[in-house]
Amino acid sequence: MTASLGALLPFLLPGLVMIVAGMVLLGLRGPIRDIVILAAPLAVLALIWGLPDGAAGGIHWLGYELVPFRSDALSRLFGTIFSLMAFAGGLFALRQERLAEVPVAFMYAGSAIGVVFAGDLITVFVFWEVMAVCSTLVIWMAGAGARGAGQRYIVMHLFGGVVLMAGIAGHIADTGSIAFGPMLADTPAHWLILAGFLLNAGSWPVSAWLPDAYPKASWSGTVFLSAFTTKTAVFVLLRGFPGEEVLIWVGMVMVFYGIIYAILENDMRRILAYSIVNQIGFILVAIGIGSEMALNGAAAHAFIHIIYKGLLLMAAGSVMYVAGRTKCTELGGLFRTMPLTTACAIVGALAMSAMPLTSGFVTKSMISDSAKIDGMAAVWFLLMAASAALPIMAGIKFPWFVFFQKDSGLRPPDPPWTMRLAMILMAILCIGIGVFPAPLYAMLPFPVDFVPYTTSHVVAQLLLLLFAGLAFFVLLRWLKPADTITLDVDWLWRRLGPSVIARMDRQSAGGAMMNRGQRAATRALQAVYRHHGPTGILARSWPTGSMAFWAVLMLSAYLVFYYL
């Protein structure tokens, strides 16, 4: 390290302050702990806006200069929402009995902030792996029931890290540079980097880690998990692969995959987990389109998606906290005794459904318009179809089956005031950004020349929502959740693979293979013994004349082949 730590420290603060705050929180108790939980994210937010734009290097490693800090509009946008989400999540989790969860979640948030301010691929990779470890610990904080999901989660993300590191190594070998900037998927190394990013984004066919792991976390842990891993992947795709056309079709598969599985799901938190996949799909489509409007729409939609998805998972976590249940078949009628939670869940659902005057409307319309302006008629049509199906998936299904429909007989109250305050804050942001989108537009990476509230936008979206609501209630008897297990792609490695291995160990197939191997080895040894044993042909004494004859024959053959 050639530069002094004092010169580098101001540029490393945004991510490191959050990580250090998490470490400090491990040793704190009482009111001082609550103060640090609420103050640390706000301090990081102030640093993000106080530090100037530009890059800071100075760390030399193996002949390369690392750039641990680079600030621009895109990184500041993601750093802002990550800090806000750490604050809201910390407020929501103040009553979490597992005292290590929030400290680890802050380290998780700090590593995500470290990624968005990283200016080189090595720094990205280091924070990327720290993020994987900390998010796994957040899952494991829920107790023994989350152990298996956490193991599958960390295996998947460590595999993604290996793929990413292989791509980075290939990129460095090809270019001699570790700078992190736009690249094309035109070499094997770049394809590996893209694959590593997409795994963290939850792209199909490896999306199943997300609905497998996130719902196993605690009532507060899932809120943190929803904010950072997939959105950090969105950031690196925005930074590294803007306009990569393959992302359009990867994202489109995610859009409809998330809709279908959310409709089939019974667990309320798994419904919302599948909707994360769906919404990331919308964002990837915009990144693949690659125009300035599309990239603005992707960045803005990632920003507001963190807010409304956090709100929805806070509502689901509140129900889990006070009622102790998560399945839609066991819930219903909770609006009677949980009016505030119900209202906040409805606000989040409306924002996700892109209702006018909510945050979802002012960003999702930007994505669909970018497809129309760029002449991508098929993409625009599919996005419109998905927008019509989205409210059915979770925008109506989640609040209807959890808070309304049948009366489950449960009468839990609204959660404690800290949890209610966190939900109110997120609901205000959902509505405030929807009514006044200009501050969000001002933070986007490109100048914004887009007016969301036009007659055509509003009427078209209201018609889509009207159709979705009508379709939901017409199809209600078929959409009612059932207490079943929905098979996903992870069945291949969770059930099929282990069962095949176990069967080979238990059944006669494995034993027969061993027996055949032993018999083959025995026959080989017997053949060697027949030829080389005491009575074997190669162990006998041969007459001198015979030996001379065979020697002359071999030499003659050698001479013939030599002169040919």
What are the C-alpha distances in Å from 455 to residues 251, 430, 437, 459?
Answer: 28, 22, 17, 6
- Name the residue with tokens 């078929």: 478
Q: What's the CA gap between 294 and 259, in Å, rounded?
A: 22
144 SS3 class: helix
DSSP bridge pairs for 69: 56
Q: What is the DSSP letter of 336?
A: G
204: number of Cβ within 10 Å:
18
The candidate with the shortest Cα–Cα distance to 322, out of 403, 219, 421, is 219
Q: What's the CA gap between 61 and 172, in Å, rounded?
A: 13
Q: What's the CA gap between 368 and 391, in Å, rounded?
A: 16
Residue 6: per-residue pLDDT: 44
Joined tokens for residue 340: 């505030």
Query: Residue ranges per domain, the chain?
Result: 242-487
Q: What's the CA gap between 331 and 483, in Å, rounded?
A: 12
Joined tokens for residue 539: 């162990």
Q: What's the CA gap between 124 and 112, in Å, rounded?
A: 9
Sort 471 into a burial class: Cβ within 10 Å, 0-12 / 13-18 / 19+. Answer: middle
Residue 310: per-residue pLDDT: 94
Residue 3: per-residue pLDDT: 44
Enumerate residues 6+ apart whose C-beta is below 8 A from 412: 319, 322, 323, 334, 337, 338
102: number of Cβ within 10 Å:
29
Tell me, rounded to whole angstroms, the distance of Cα 299 from its chain centroid: 16
Q: What is the DSSP letter of 495?
A: I
Q: What's the CA gap between 362 and 357, in Å, rounded?
A: 8
Residue 315: per-residue pLDDT: 94
Q: What's the CA gap between 156 and 503, in Å, rounded?
A: 24
76 SS3 class: helix
What are the C-alpha distances in Å from 42 to residues 18, 37, 46, 90, 313?
Answer: 10, 9, 6, 11, 22
Joined tokens for residue 460: 């078209």
| Helices (H) then strands (E): counts for the chain | 24, 4
DSSP bridge pairs for 66: 59
Residue 429: per-residue pLDDT: 95
- Around 8, how many Cα atoms within 13 Å sit in the side-chain half-sphere? 16
Tell me, rounded to whole angstroms, the distance of Cα 375 from its chain centroid: 30
Q: What's the CA gap between 61 and 135, in Å, rounded?
A: 28
Sort 171 into a burial class: Cβ within 10 Å, 0-12 / 13-18 / 19+. Answer: buried
Q: What's the CA gap between 217 and 203, in Å, rounded?
A: 21
Going from the first residue of the chain to its last (564 residues), give the mean pLDDT of each consecutive group of 10, the final group possibly shorter: 45 82 91 94 92 75 79 93 95 91 95 92 92 94 86 91 92 88 89 94 88 92 93 94 92 90 88 91 92 92 94 94 88 90 93 89 87 83 82 76 83 92 95 93 90 87 82 75 74 74 60 65 68 59 59 64 54
Amino acid identity of residue 65, one-letter, is E
Residue 378: per-residue pLDDT: 86
DSSP bridge pairs for 65: 60
Residue 552: per-residue pLDDT: 63
